[in-house]
Structure 1
Amino acid sequence: MKKITLSILLLLLSTVLTFAQQPVVINGTVDKKTYPKVYLYKVLNGRLSEIATSTPDSSSLFAFKFTPKYKGLYAIGGTEIISLRNIFKFYFKPGDELNLKLQKANYTLEGNNSAENKKLTEWFKTSYTLLDKAVYWTTISSYVDFFPEIEEMYAKLPAYKSSAKTGNAEFDKLFSKIVAFDFTYLAIGYLYTPRSTHPSQEEMSNYYTQFKADDYLTADLLKLPYGDRLLNYLVYKKIDISTKPSIQQQVEAIPVDVVKGQYALSKLTSAVSFSEYEEMFKTFKPYFILEDQKERAQAMAVKLVNTKEGTPALNFSFPDVNNRKVSLSDLKGKVVLIDVWATWCGPCKAEEPHWEKLVKNYKGKDVAFVGISVDQNKKAWDKYTSEKNLNGIQLYAGPGNDLSKAYQINGIPRYLLIDKKGNLITPDSPRPADPKLKSLIDTWLSR
């Protein structure tokens, strides 16, 4: 009897393992102009992560065969993983088959498909008018036409949420949430996209005036391909972003710790120096709960380690106004303030009077002022420096130079401060107009 029982258990276990290893097979045709390559994505904590790519053949056919690591949402389409244009979500479990045609801003199912993906496609078609206006913008739209459609759809939402009867209870429950979150993503996201006209508070329709962000600031966001983006919209809706709340205030507005961690991670990427990263990391570390969150935070630290105070600064070498190369090593023994700028940059020009004043204040002292231009047009830089007779050492680096790459300089003006030994003080110092810069220079000058 024991042998029979053991045999049955082994047979059941073998059946379960075989089912779990059954691959998902995807076959489709594409508009090759829109999809020169087709991408398969998994949902990784509110964002998309690439699994595989398929290059359509001469007949515009593509295919995937993969073993799903989880039962849930995946996505197929192009490369716009932030806006999700031309990327469409599907539900996969082991053994599923998907047959479809990918078109620009749309798709259709063809042949054999699962009940779950038929249901998702039905919802996709039902909500397409809102999707088109909120995401694709092929129709000129403003709140005047959009809000009435939101109210009409919102009234029907309870019926849509409970309409899934696929025989997969797990999916049917998930579908209800997908409908609710999809609708919220389109309705709230619409408010934060460029439009010809925007509604006043008094012009908001009932859905918006009664909306409660906390209903959606939940861990369910992590299961959705647009979760991270919707998270930002929800925080902006909950606290008036125009009042410029601190990052900590924004994070604290979120009621769920793991979601706080997800939001804090998105803000951590704005750190341009290791010290700035370190300060933010210490504040938000308790909210980095998932392994993925911890790994992403660590990856950011590694990326910024060269910006840590005391690390050797990049020994750049760029030509001056006389086409003579000047290197950072030539300035050893001096505190060096670097201004990364361009002739077309308005905020850069606004700092010039304060820069000139600093240069005069430190005349005869061990401080070097170095302007480094990232202008595309060197002639424009030559003309500007000649006409303005700018003080300090003026160098031309051009766009995409080594200094900009080393310190992730994606916006200007940007100021870097380097000590007398050629080590980094900060890759993002206060601007000349800020009195804190003078204090910082004085501190390091006295060392």
Structure 2
Amino acid sequence: MKSIKCFSKILFGFIIFLITCAPSVGQQSYSDDFVTYMSGLERFVQNELYNKVSQFLYDVEETPEPKAYIDFVEEIKNELEEYHQSNKSNLMNDEVDAAKSFIQTMLVQLAELYLDRAQEYEVGVKQKFLHDYLQTLGLNKEINNLTDDVARSIMMALHSAMKIPFGMTNDEIANYVAANREADRELILASSIINDMLMLAKSYDQSENAIATFKKEYNGSNFTPSMEELLVSLEKLKPGAEVENFTFVNLEGETVTLEKYKDKIIYLDLWASWCGPCIQTFRTKTPDFEMQLRDQSDIVLLYVSIDEKEESWKNFLDKNPMRGEHLYAGKGFEASIMKYFKVWGIPRYLIIGKDNKLVNPNAPRPGDEALSALFELVGK
């Protein structure tokens, strides 16, 4: 039987993240009323929803039937809508929209929980469940503001339905989205385009073309503004764009800017001491990678930690010394460099050329492919 840790990680952890890491909507600060609203939502998740979902989905020997689970979530949706209607009166318009998007994201994630639990089901059954779920709950019509979180959650659910790990570039997903003719086609297609941009899975030109094709099929879609706004934000991530001069702290406590390395080709590794995949890579891939580059004076390996505490970063490096340059950004995923490069998960690797011109904002992990890209830049 699946552990309920999955539920805690996906849903409750998501709400905690929203409350602690959402200081602003655009340029507008959240009001005290919105903080109160979100605190109430957190209490609902912790005190009621957690137990309900755990009992219905995990404290049973067999996976509930798809329709039974959809009916169950419909009741949860009604409770959430009742909470929203009762507590939205003092919220500003942007906050009302944000609150609705948070709830919609929760509902989509509840679908992913079911798909993750239903490992015994064939792909076709899981795909049908997702379409039925979105349509029965009315999410395919009610989601008008397609935020990054909603779009990503929809694509995570689709990956789970198709038994494909999220984050992997996969033609099977793209082909399914293109061929989908269900009532949720517009929603899933737009989510796919947004998610590809968030993941930097496609080039700027490919994303621009995908949006243009979408607009021909869905002229005047409510989702178009979100896609176009995200595309504009990706202009700074085009190859050849000059990277912002970020500021860090080195191991000696000195302030260091990215400009210090403008005469070098930078292989940038964003990591944290709590990141399991980061540490695994350090142990298995990094030593040989560093050795292969030891004589390349034009290349600098730049390790930037996003640990919340500087002490954690230093303690790890004291016990696990590595080559290269080590800098501290802190602030976790709220670090400016993380937002700039739209980093949603670590480790993340980037290649920055001389004069701080961006080469690849989503570079290969340490290994032969990364070495080839770096050697090509130095003409080797």
TM bucket by the smaller chain?
A: 0.5 to 0.7
The one-letter code of the counterpart of 2:237 is T
Tell me, yes or no, if the aligned pair for 2:109 and 2:157 is still in contact at 8 Å. Answer: no
**Contact 1:272/1:304 (<8 A) preserved:** no
**Residue in 2 aligned with 1:240?**
162
Cα deviations by residue, 1:49-73 (Å, 9 ceiling, x for unpaired)? xxxx9x79xxxxxxxxxxxxxxxxx
- Cα distance in 2, alignment partners of residues 141 and 250 from structure 1: 30
Mapped to 1, the partners of 2:228 and 2:266 lie a distance apart of 30
1:141 to 45, 49, 56: 56
TM-score normalised by the chain length of structure 2: 0.60
Local SS of the residue matching 1:343: coil
CA gap of 1:403–1:197, structure 2 versus 1, over 3 A, is closer
Q: CA deviation at 1:318?
A: 1.5
What is aligned with 1:342? 272
- Once the two structures are superposed, the pairs formed by residues 177-188 of structure 1 within 5 Å of their partners are none
1:427 aligns with 2:361: yes
**Match among 173, 190, 194 for residue 265 of structure 1:** 190
CA distance in 2, matches of 1:308, 1:324: 31
Alignment of 1:243-254 (within 5 A): 246=171, 247-254=173-180
- Within the alignment, does 1:359 sit opposite 2:290 as a pair? yes
401 and 191 in structure 1: CA distance in 2 versus 1, 3 angstrom threshold: closer
Aligned to 1:192: 112
Structure 2 CA distance for aligned equivalents of residues 238 and 381 of structure 1: 34
Is 2:233 the counterpart of 1:319?
Answer: no
Q: Which has the higher helix share?
A: 2
User: Quick one: structure 1 residues 281 and 377, their matched pair in 2 at CA, closer, same or farther if it must change by over 3 Å?
Assistant: same
Deviation of the 1:442 alpha carbon: 1.7
Structure with greater contact order relative to length (CA < 8 Å, sep ≥ 6): 2
Q: Which residue of 2 aligns with 1:168?
A: none
2:310 alignment partner in structure 1: 378
Partner of 1:286: 213
Percent of aligned pairs with the same amino acid: 19
Give distance in 2, aligned partners of 1:234 and 1:413.
19
Superposed displacement of residue 259, structure 1: 4.6
Residue 299 (structure 1) aligns with: 229
> Could you tell me whether the CA contact under 8 Å between 2:178 and 2:189 is conserved in 1?
no
Query: Counterpart in 1 of 2:142?
Result: 224
Per-residue deviation, 1:294: 2.8
Structure 1: gaps of 5 or more residues: 1-52, 57-77, 87-103, 106-131, 155-186, 203-207
Letter in 2 for 1:314: E
Alignment of 1:127-138 (within 5 A): 137=52
Q: Structure 1, residues 264-301: CA drift from partner, whole Å, max 9, x if none?
A: 32233333449545424434642332323332221111
Aligned position for 1:438: 371
Alpha-carbon distance in structure 1 between the residues aligned to 2:66 and 2:314: 56
CA contact (8 A) 2:111 2:133 kept: no
Larger Rg: 1
Q: Which runs of 5+ in 2 are unaligned?
A: 1-30, 72-106
1:410 corresponds to which letter in structure 2?
A: W
Q: What is the identity, as a one-letter code, of the residue corresponding to 1:279?
A: Q
Partner amino acid, structure 1, of 2:175: Q
Q: How many corresponding residue pairs?
A: 290
SS at match of 1:437: helix
Q: Which one has a larger percent strand, Structure 1 or Structure 2?
A: 1
Give secondary structure in 2 for the equivalent of 1:429.
Answer: coil
User: In the TM superposition, what is the alpha-carbon distance from 1:351 to its structure 2 partner?
Assistant: 1.7
Give TM-score, length-normalised by structure 1: 0.52
